[in-house]
Amino acid sequence: MAGACLRYAVMEVLGFGRLITPEAQAVMAEGSARHRRFQTWLLTEADVIAVEAPLVSESWQVSGRVDAVVRLNGEPVAIEYKTAGPERFQAMLASGRPLAEHWAQLMCYLATGAYRRGCLVVEERDSGRRLQWAAYPDPAWTAWLGQRLEAVRRYQAAHRLPSREVSRGCLTCDRWQRCFRSEAERAAAVEAHPDWEPDPPLPALPSQPSPPAWVHSARTQEEGGPA
Ligand code: SF4
């Protein structure tokens, strides 16, 4: 919810239904299987403290599960794992930037949990290639997330939906029919406004991926062991 379109997030807390197509269902099933494989892989490649670590913030009224927490130089690192189709993965590869929605989720964990380091791992579904970005608590993201969640609660209390935040994300949104009368109307809106421009504007995203500091091979190098 942290990095979602505001209207979508309000629908979520108000309990609106979702339209899950068979294609979306297949993608979700594959994503879950990849998630499990990644967590199993981590157990051999990193110093894992926990998988699916629960996280609750009473002040922000949010809860979630951190995909994994690993130890690096004695310090816990929160790992968020995502999968992406070739088109989105290629866009991240070309720009060096993660998707805002993925980054926002990890920044929410860093803002609400006791983590001073995090890492976002994005895997391409077709090839299994990965990109990753190191993360640290960022006051600009904490402020942005706080404002967005406050807005969600305001609309929830008023039982009202905010305006649409049109972007390419509408093309895969499973609640799009609450926003557009037809696929043609949606396509035209997205063509006119492909980029997500939330209010307040997004804080800065990292501009390039980071090396995998938390896997064993990198850890032994950091500790002076063999490469
Ligand atoms: S269709 Fe677009 S504007 Fe509507 S809820 Fe989904 S992402 Fe938001």
pLDDT computed for residue 73 by the predictor: 87
pLDDT value at 123 more than 60: yes
For residue 176 and ligand 1, the question of a CB distance below 6 A is answered with yes
Name residue 82's beta-bridge partners: 122
Banded model confidence at residue 227, pLDDT cuts 50, 70, 90: very low
Domains and CATH numbers, the chain: 21-162 (3.90.320.10)
Helices 139-158, 6-14: inter-axial angle, 10-degree rounding: 50
For residue 5 and ligand 1, the question of a CB distance below 6 A is answered with yes
- Atom 5 of ligand 1 has which residue's CA nearest to it? 8
| Mean pLDDT of all residues in 155-173 | 95
Query: For 130-149, how does the pLDDT look when each residue is reduced to its tens digit (9 = 90+)?
Result: 999 999 999 999 999 999 99
pLDDT value at 82 more than 80: yes
| Cβ-based burial of 197 (10 A; exposed 0-12, middle 13-18, buried ≥19) | exposed
pLDDT computed for residue 215 by the predictor: 66
Query: For 26-75, how does the pLDDT look when each residue is reduced to its tens digit (9 = 90+)?
Result: 988 988 999 999 999 999 989 999 999 999 888 888 888 999 999 998 89
Determine the distance separating the centroid of ligand 1 and the alpha carbon of 134, expressed in angstroms: 29
For residue 170 and ligand 1, the question of a CB distance below 6 A is answered with yes
Alpha helix (H) ranges present in 59-210?
A: 86-95, 100-112, 139-158, 183-192
- Phi and psi based region of residue 28 (left: phi greater than 0; alpha: psi -120 to 50; beta: remaining): alpha
Higher pLDDT among residues 167 and 1, named by residue:
167
Determine the distance separating the centroid of ligand 1 and the alpha carbon of 191, expressed in angstroms: 14
SS3 content of the chain, % helix, strand, coil (to 5): 45, 20, 35
**φ, ψ at 170 (rounded to 5°):** -65, -25
- Note whether 123 and 95 are within 8 A (CB): no
pLDDT value at 121 more than 90: yes
pLDDT computed for residue 166 by the predictor: 96
44: number of Cβ within 10 Å: 9
| Ligand 1 atom closest to 167 (CA) | 2
pLDDT value at 175 more than 90: yes
Query: For 178-226, how does the pLDDT look when each residue is reduced to its tens digit (9 = 90+)?
Result: 999 999 999 999 999 998 999 999 999 999 998 777 666 544 433 333 2
Which mutation among 18, 148, 173, 178 tests ligand 1's pocket best, with the greatest number of atoms within 8 A of CB? 173
Residue whose token pair is 């505001």: 6
Mean pLDDT of the chain: 89
> What CA–CA distance (Å, rounded) separates 38 from 18?
27
